[in-house]
Amino acid sequence: MSNKIDQQLFSLHEHALEHQACPKCQSEQRDGELQLRHGKHGPFLGCNQYPICDFIKPLHQNDGHVVKELGVACPECGNELVLRQGRYGMFIGCSHYPQCHHIESLDQPQEEQESQHLMCPECQKGHLVERKTRFGKLFYACDNYPKCKFAVNQPPVAGKCEKCGYPLLIEKKLASGDKLQCAERKCHHTQTGQD
């Protein structure tokens, strides 16, 4: 009996999501509607006009929600910093996101964080920030994600590749000593110093 009730509740919940207009289609004068879909990360709402419209909306927000207000001013805009739980763990960010993109890792001192604000070489809008995989491994990614998916595994260094001119280098630790390598995947030229 309870299995039948659970199925009815799920079915009612599914139908309650139907006939909700897709916001992206509305802005482009199309008549798309959101549907319940299932992906590798669980259920989400997606437009029924896919692939013409790629709008998706998660059913639960697990990326960047505020855990605690810190009562400290943001060094970029002056608004309050908050502790957030994101996809890659806890981090400190500005309470006025997305207007202000300031974030800080919990694992490194403030001086080190300020030196890490390198412009993303791909989108030229975001900045490279330190992130952690769910296994605790560090990587550096554009804070303009998901619009920009640029990421590197080694620490980024300001500089220009002497071979291809790419505007970002990465720090490569080798047995022969530390070297700088082009961050462009097609190049990976290794050089000894910055230009």
Structure tokens at 162: 């002497």
Residue type, 11: S
pTM of the model as a whole: 0.42
Domain regions of the chain by residue span: 2-58, 65-132, 157-191
**DSSP letter, residue 61:** -
Query: Who's near 67: CB < 8 A, 6+ residues apart?
Result: 82, 83, 84, 85, 90
pLDDT one digit per residue (tens) for the chain, 195 residues: 444 555 544 544 445 555 688 888 888 888 888 888 877 666 778 888 888 888 887 765 555 667 777 778 888 888 888 877 776 667 788 888 878 888 876 654 443 443 357 888 888 888 888 887 766 778 888 888 778 888 888 889 888 898 898 999 898 887 777 888 898 888 888 887 644
Q: How many CB atoms lie within 10 A of CB 159?
A: 19
Structure-token pair, residue 175: 């047995």
**What pLDDT sits at residue 18?**
54
- Give the pLDDT score at 7: 52
Tell me the residue length of the chain. Answer: 195
* Per-residue pLDDT, 110: 40
